[in-house]
Chains A and B, each alone.
Chain A
Amino acid sequence: MLKATSSLGVIFFPAYDWAISPTHPEREERLLYTQDQFREEGLFDIEGISEHRPLFASDQDIMRAHFCFPTVDAICTESHRISAGGAIQAARLVLEQETRRAFALVRPPGHHAMKVVHGNRGFCNINIEAVMVEWIREHYGRKRIAIVDTDCHHGDGTQDVYWHDPDVLFISMHQDGRTLYPGSGFPNENGGPRALGRTINIPLPPRTGDEGYLYALENVVLPILADFKPDLVINSAGQDNHYSDPITNMQFSAQGYARLNELLRPDIAVLEGGYSIKGALPYVNLGICLAMAGCDYSGVREPDFNAIALREEPDTLDYIKASCGQLLEGYFHPAMGAFEKQGEYFIRERKIFYDTDGIMEKQREELTDCDQCRGLRLIKTSSSRILPCLGVELPIDCCPACEREGYEQFNRKNDDFLVAQLLDQKNKQYRYRPSR
């Protein structure tokens, strides 16, 4: 029988009773054929590969990662809590050393959910990796964590959550934002003023195949990881780079995905997008599981796989090779961006559209330019559905002055905010202001 050379815990949770809507890609059927493939291949009969059920993310778990307005319950249903709980279970298995690696094969996904959440963006309500990362840091202390987002869409939500956090390196490989939702993720997006170089974006041209994708992985991602030396590597594992995916334009294969995970060696992988539910997911997921477990995956192949037809154009490959140098600079010598400042605050003013729910959010972020800590972060946000709300974030290394200021803002009795939420990483306080 087969034996895993590095043990793997799989949290397989297909949520067979949940869909965004009956014909939405994010529906009950999504992981059905993956499960058929796993069962038929006897994945869980392989010694060292085990199956686990998800945990359930509490309000506190979610409030460590997000500002949810007006309430956590208004943002996420049980399905989101279980999906995030699946990621938490994966982290628990690895950090408790029950398994060497873990793969949270759960839905719905989360990587388009940003720090502030008003509703569903790009099929995501809460960012399940972020909820997991904060759970890890809550229970196991401060860690250096690398999140490599291999979904075909830019992981704009995860990028936003960790934009100012130098402890988390976020790397996203995706189809060029000029050609695909959400239209962001360009090489010059390298993190906030206090976390420069901790956000790396690798846009790839449409119709990139295995060779080009793995070239970027080996020549940009791996050298950066070697330098950053993370305690944990997380693969935000979308499967929509696949050549058969209905909503993207890439030419990646199951073999490519397996090789990617063999090279990246993630401690934890978390499923994100991927909607070719019959033609890709059964094979891609099998390939990822075998590769993570250190088993031979050479026989995993889609029935209609055609290596020659799926190879990228020489121009595409040249373009990718030429861009790698610049991408490395984004980590090793990031340029100080044009950060707007008003007095002692870095300011970001943005409008964010929630495509799934049709919400328009207006947001103003103020980050104290503090020389004692990363700075207090205030987020003032309103939307087409809700009056202005306030998010107060104290960083883990918060200085006494920022701490005082943060609590003063949060405890104010007579401001105009409908709701205020405190996210105090230093003292581990996560709560809403009591309503008046």
Chain B
Amino acid sequence: MRIGIDIGGTHTDGILIDGTRLVAAAKIPTNHDHLLESISQVLHLILDGQDPAGVSVLNLSTTLTTNAIITGKTDPVGMLVAGGPGIALETYRIGDHFHQIPGSLDHLGTETAPLDVNQLESAIADCCALGVKRFAVAVKFSPRNPVHENLMRDQLGERADFVSTGHLISGQLNFGRRIHTAYYNSAVSRTFRSFTTALTASLSGFALQCEVNILKADGGTMPLVRAQEAPVQSIFSGPAASVMGILATTPASSDMLMLDIGGTTSDIALFASGQPLLEREGIAIDGHPTLVRAIHVESIGIGGDSLISMGANGVQTGPQRLGPCMATGGPAPTLMDALNVLGLAAFGEVQRSIEGMVILAASHGLSGVQLARDAVDTAVNAISTKIESLIAHVNSKPVYTIHEILEDREVTPEKIIVIGGPAAVFKELLQVRLGIEVVIPPFHGVANAIGAALTRSTSHLTLTADTTKGKLSVPMLGVFRSIPRGFNLDTAIEESKNLLQGDLAQAGISISADEIQITQADSFNMVEGSYTTGKNIRVVAQVQPAVVARLDASSAEVLISGRP
């Protein structure tokens, strides 16, 4: 059996699955001050009458790191960076202990100025004097050559409790993002570690002896031990859990959309041939772009609790939220109330929705029904416009080969899967506005927890080889070594698969070679004068987000316990 838990901003959802059958589900309000408490509560509910020994996997999606960052409850980080020429390093300043060390590498990884060890030492000493225990190091072009980052890490030695090293976080080039990703990784490391320690203790209290994984923003999981090294990867996993929930409950092979309607916001994601699309580089944390791989999710400030108001341009729905809808005791009419007024929903006390709407409408010379209709139209239009712009954005993404310009297929969604509380209500409305099939999957109230339970591990690596220099680098695995003369694109692809497989095996995950996808494989002639001196090879390999099983719809009648 597998357990999936998704700690969300409002609710914590948990489910227990046996094979393809949903055994139990629970939904409780999230206790943000004691996330463990929330976890314990759902575990109590879903494990009621079950044998914990039968549980083999527990996957957890948590807002822990996200909240720590948003609320500023992070630890100070000694940020050591070296950039050399280019965009001013000052641009990337983050935290209170940002130290710029002279030294530089070029785009081929050649050292163009040695790292200034004296300045490095004095920066470290400054941090230590201020009691800084956690560090992050990032050097421009370190994925091409880790020498300066390694030197920084070695110099820190025992003085650091935790070090995030740029090239181990991502093999992708982007110095600013590398700095910020390394910074946040260190900033949340202690919080994350103490949480996982407590979690482990708590799970043994439930007699759970299972494998524990943490959900990442790209929809995959990572084993707990890996998560302790890379806690930053656990941020914003909530929307990814919902996306994986779609894959776990709906047949998905075509181009399609997900719309997850929440209380304050709704999330939109796009699938190409059934595969969720990822962000090109990574998500932004607190306004800082990072290299954290993530499913591309667009949020829009419209949900069931969106406030209805009269603005200069007519009726406005969202993005404000004053509280729940009037039907459940809220202070002012919301989108959910409008749906009640129009008879599209019958949620809570419908009469209160009607009364509230009529009062607001009358003050603007409208009938309650008119106002409700306008409010719903506005919301549906805003969602549809967002969807259309997402599709246009994806279809106009830059490409770099003639082949892609000529052969690229446009993503054209055939259906939209709607989940979240008021999903069913929107079915008709969206179908009319978007002109595509709208599907409400079974279990859509806990799709996120189902997604968490059934998703598998993801991983990726970037391999660069320069046969002129005779060098191979796979930064994320810390692999930098020599290669023989005959090394070519085919050997590079083979090597990428082997390395990725080997790394996952080390984390206790077995994956067959054909589950590894090669997303980039290029080989360029390097020429000096008129002679080819070698090849510049680039390979990106990944294990894409996928679910281990699809849920059997006949188990849909399981009651969600603990519903608030």
Contacts and interface: CB of A to CB of B under 8 A. Distances in A.
Interface of A: 1-2, 12-18, 22-23, 27-29, 32-33, 35-37, 39-42, 45, 51-54, 56, 78-79, 82, 246, 278, 282-283, 286, 290, 295-296, 298-304
Interface string B513-539: 000000000101111011110001000
B177 A42 contact: yes
A33 B398 CA distance: 17
Nearest to A35: B400
Interface in B439-484: none
A51 B393 CA distance: 11
Given A14-B400, A18-B402, A290-B87, A23 B107 contact: no
Interface in B82-120: 84-88, 91, 104, 106-108, 110, 112-113
B175 interface: yes
A17 B402 contact: yes
Contact of A28 (B113, B525, B531): B525
B97 to A, nearest CB: 19
Nearest to B532: A23
A39 B176 CA distance: 10
Nearest to B84: A303
Nearest to B526: A29
B397 interface: yes
Interface in B173-202: 173-177
The 7 closest A-B pairs by CB, nearest first: A303-B112, A39-B173, A301-B85, A42-B176, A40-B173, A29-B524, A17-B401
Contacts of B130: none
B34 interface: no
A251 to B, nearest CB: 18
B398 A16 contact: no
Chain B interface category by residue count: 35 or more
Nearest to B395: A53
Given A13-B400, A23-B531, A296-B88, A40 B524 contact: no
Contacts of B536: 29, 32
Given A14-B400, A45-B177, A53-B398, A40 B141 contact: yes
A80 to B, nearest CB: 10
A272 to B, nearest CB: 19
A14 to B, nearest CB: 5
Contacts of B148: none
Contacts of A40: 86, 107, 140-141, 173-175
Contacts of A56: 405
A287 to B, nearest CB: 10
A303 B108 contact: no
A299 B524 contact: no
B406 interface: yes
B289 interface: yes
B287 to A, nearest CB: 8
A1 B532 contact: no
A27 B527 contact: yes
B527 A23 contact: yes
Interface string B281-299: 1000001110000000000
Contacts of B106: 303
B107 A299 contact: no
B400 A42 contact: no
Contacts of B524: 16, 28-29, 32
Contacts of A15: 400-402
Given A35-B400, A303-B85, 20 more contacts: A1-B287, A13-B398, A16-B400, A16-B522, A17-B402, A28-B524, A29-B527, A32-B536, A40-B107, A40-B140, A42-B175, A45-B174, A52-B398, A53-B397, A246-B529, A283-B85, A295-B87, A300-B86, A303-B112, A304-B112
A29 B400 CA distance: 12
A53 B401 CA distance: 10
Nearest to A40: B173
28 contacts: A1-B176, A1-B288, A2-B87, A13-B398, A16-B524, A18-B402, A23-B532, A27-B525, A28-B525, A29-B526, A29-B536, A32-B536, A33-B107, A36-B173, A37-B107, A40-B107, A42-B87, A45-B174, A45-B281, A52-B398, A78-B405, A82-B402, A82-B405, A286-B87, A299-B88, A300-B86, A300-B87, A301-B85
Interface in B390-427: 396-403, 405-406
Contacts of A39: 172-174
Nearest to B87: A41
Nearest to B535: A29
A282 B85 CA distance: 12
A410 B174 CA distance: 56
B232 to A, nearest CB: 18
A299 B100 CA distance: 14
A12 B402 contact: no
Contact of A53 (B175, B405, B531, B532): B405
A16 B289 contact: no
Identify the interface centre among A37, A79, A298, A303: most chain B CB within 10 Å of its CB.
A303
B173 A23 contact: no
A41 B403 CA distance: 27
B108 to A, nearest CB: 7
Contacts of B107: 33, 36-37, 40, 278, 282
A292 B531 CA distance: 35
Chain A CB within 10 Å, residue with most, of B402, B527, B536: B402
Contacts of A282: 107
Contacts of B140: 40
A40 B138 CA distance: 12
Contacts of B84: 303
A18 B84 CA distance: 33
Contacts of A16: 400-401, 522, 524
A39 B401 CA distance: 17
A304 B106 CA distance: 11
Contacts of A29: 524-527, 536
A273 B389 CA distance: 36
Interface in B128-180: 140-141, 172-177
Contacts of B398: 12-13, 51-53
Contacts of A35: 400
Contacts of A286: 86-87
A29 B466 CA distance: 13
Contacts of B530: 23
B519 to A, nearest CB: 14
A60 B172 CA distance: 41
B77 to A, nearest CB: 19
A56 B524 CA distance: 25
A78 B406 contact: yes
B85 A299 contact: yes
B456 to A, nearest CB: 29
